[in-house]
Amino acid sequence: MKKKLIIDVDAGVDDAVAIMIALSMPDVEVLGITCCNGNTSVENVLKNVLRVLKICNRLDIPVYRGCSKPLVARTIHASDYFGTDGFGDVPDPHAPSLDLVQKKKAEQAIIDFVNENPGEVMLVSTAPLTNLAVTVQLDPTLSKKLKALFIMGGNTESRGNTTMCGEFNFVADPEAAYIVLDRYTCPTYIATWEFTCRNSLPWKAQSPEFRDTNPLGCEFDLCDAYAMAAAVNADIDADINNFITESVEVAVTVELEGTYTRGMMVLDYMHKLKKEHTVFIMKKVDLEMFQEMLINAVK
């Protein structure tokens, strides 16, 4: 039986790669792709997802419009990283029409897919967690019917990439991240910012001269793709994941009030939260397997 996925994105180049990995796996069925404000506006995210699906000849996969702004936080985008449109501002005169976007809202689509396939659906989020937070508020029983949740976001050592202590997806909507980590009690796996930095891949095509003069530019980090790689290689029933070679299991939450730490993920090694639900924080993965998956995704 194929693994059933819902993918929640704010595409984003690395979101695009994550989608392509899922589409390249013969034992994976992508039920739908939900879109959220994040790297760029939700309008651009919808366009970018449709562009990816067109290139992959998979415009049959339904795409859904989600939240256009955070629950409470000020809206931020990653225009300095992925360009104003999320795809490096590369023109695409033949991009698919937004008329292809489904009329149903993303949150309702997630609820319907899960209710139609109870215990079978894995949800992969590579975006701010706004859509997921709204979804669980609409259906508080959703988490009990999900097979697993995979997230790219958060951090483990206060090392930020947007604020001093915060990773982009969590900083973009801290309240949503807090709600998701509090109310989703299904098996949960998180690829954090520091983890992805430590598991970067080399730019093999670079010349020796470039590597010698640019020692910090010899690796690339497709953050969102790690969460997807973990999802498509997961055997949740058998508690096996050939991709993840080392992880730590711990209860987590998100700081909402700190001046410098708002949006930072907090790991409760001292058991102060008294939470029954713990998550798996990825530490190491099979990089050879990851590289092979990336190659297959773009063939």
- Written as one string, the DSSP assignment of 78-100 is -HHHH-TTSSTT---TTPPPGGG
Average pLDDT over residues 20-43: 97
pLDDT band (50, 70, 90) for residue 66: very high
Question: CATH code at 221?
Answer: 3.90.245.10
Mean pLDDT within 90-105: 94
pTM of the complete model: 0.93
Question: 200 versus 107: which is more confidently predicted?
Answer: 107
pLDDT at residue 206, as a whole number: 41
> 5 pLDDT band (50/70/90 cuts)?
very high
Residue 212's pLDDT band (boundaries 50, 70, 90)? low
Residues classed as catalytic? 10
Whether residue 49 contacts residue 33, with contact meaning beta carbons closer than 8 Å, is answered with yes
CA-based torsion, 200, 205, 206, 209: positive or negative: positive
Range of the domain at 246: 3-297
> In percent, how much of the chain has pLDDT > 70?
95
| Number of domains forming the structure of the chain | 1
Residue 8 has pLDDT above 90, yes or no: yes
Structure tokens at 53: 């699906």
The owner of tokens 């795409």 is 63
Arithmetic mean of pLDDT, 63-88 = 91
Give the CA angle between residues 96, 49, 241 to the nearest 5°.
Answer: 150
